[in-house]
Amino acid sequence: MKRDMHIALVEDNRFHAMLFEQAVHEKYTDFTITVYPSGKAFLGDCETRMFDLIAVDYHLPDVDGLELLSIIRGNQPDTPIIMITGVGSEQTAVEAMKSGATDYVAKNGDYGTTIPRVIKQAYHKQQLIQKNRRLEAKAREAEKLEMITTMTSTLNHEVNNPLMAILGNVELLLGDNRITDHGFINKLRMIEASARRIQTITHRMANLINPVIRQTPVGPMLRLKRRGEDRSDVENAPVSTPVDKSD
């Protein structure tokens, strides 16, 4: 856990706020706590200030705690959030967890001693959630890249076979001395040139090592890396193929 965490506490009860601060500072002296006496006071800051952790009291004078939780989660999706509930509010705690709270703590006799432990648990839990999201994103990207590579290999095979038949027949016709129509011969040469161009493209696709996805201002873009092309070549090359973000 970070040594200098910045925590936002949304709590209208001054005594409970002081108890929260005291409990945290006894365990984590380097932590900074900013107390907001109302939901509106916090909302005025939450769009411009980022916190390492946010603790929200369920009973606030101006906004429902669950409603505030949803707003915070929308603005700061990766920030651990602790919902502070009253004694015997298990149902509220369950609703809070469903609404996006990372953890909760009840204002009971162990409130002061429980706060540091819950903060630690919530922070590490949110870190694990973020790590899992990154791993899932990498797995989805790897799956998409594998599909692209398989499709490229299949396309190369399916295109190259009929292409060889076209080139073979064109060569036979061009080698036939009985054909003297220059217009027809020119058309055959145009077909041959186009087929050779397609053949070159399929050969490049056959040399594909792996597709590379780069993040650009317009979204993720695909670049096909070929044999003999180092990473700097790929990074400096123009990218023109958009990648579908849908799963």
Alpha-carbon torsion (96, 97, 100, 102), positive or negative? positive
Residue range 132-158: mean pLDDT, rounded: 78
Q: Are 138 and 210 in contact (CB under 8 A)?
A: no
| Global model pTM greater than 0.75 | no
Between the ranges 2-6, 139-143, 190-194, 210-214, where is the mean pLDDT highest?
190-194
DSSP 61: S
State residue 146 phi and psi, 5-degree precision: -65, -40
Domain range summary for the chain, segments of one domain joined by +: 6-134, 142-242
Percent of the chain surpassing pLDDT 70: 82
pLDDT band at 118 (very low <50, low <70, confident <90, very high): very high
Residue 165 and residue 73: Cα distance in Å, rounded? Answer: 61
Whose tokens are 């064109």? That residue is 170
Q: Are 215 and 187 in contact (CB under 8 A)?
A: no
11 sits in the region (left: phi over 0; alpha: psi -120 to 50; else beta) called beta
Give SS3 for 34. strand
Residue 203 and residue 130: Cα distance in Å, rounded? Answer: 41
Query: Is 3.40.50.2300 the CATH classification of the domain at 6-134?
Result: yes
Residue range 97-124: mean pLDDT, rounded: 90
Give SS3 for 190. helix
Beta strand 241-242 with 219-226: parallel, antiparallel or unpaired?
Answer: antiparallel
Give SS3 for 99. coil
Alpha-carbon torsion (213, 214, 220, 225), positive or negative? negative
Encoded amino acid at 35, one letter: V
Q: Find the helix or strand (DSSP H, E) in which 81 lies.
A: strand 81-85
| Ranges assigned E (strand) in 114-245 | 208-216, 219-226, 241-242
Render pLDDT for 14-47 as a digit per residue (tens, 0 to 9): 999 999 999 999 999 999 999 999 999 999 888 7
State residue 206 phi and psi, 5-degree precision: -65, -25
pLDDT band at 212 (very low <50, low <70, confident <90, very high): low
pLDDT band at 159 (very low <50, low <70, confident <90, very high): confident
Residue range 2-21: mean pLDDT, rounded: 92
The yes-or-no verdict on residue 104 having pLDDT over 80 is yes
Render pLDDT for 48-96 as a digit per residue (tens, 0 to 9): 888 999 999 998 988 888 899 999 988 888 899 999 988 667 788 888 8
Q: Token digits for 113?
A: 């001693």
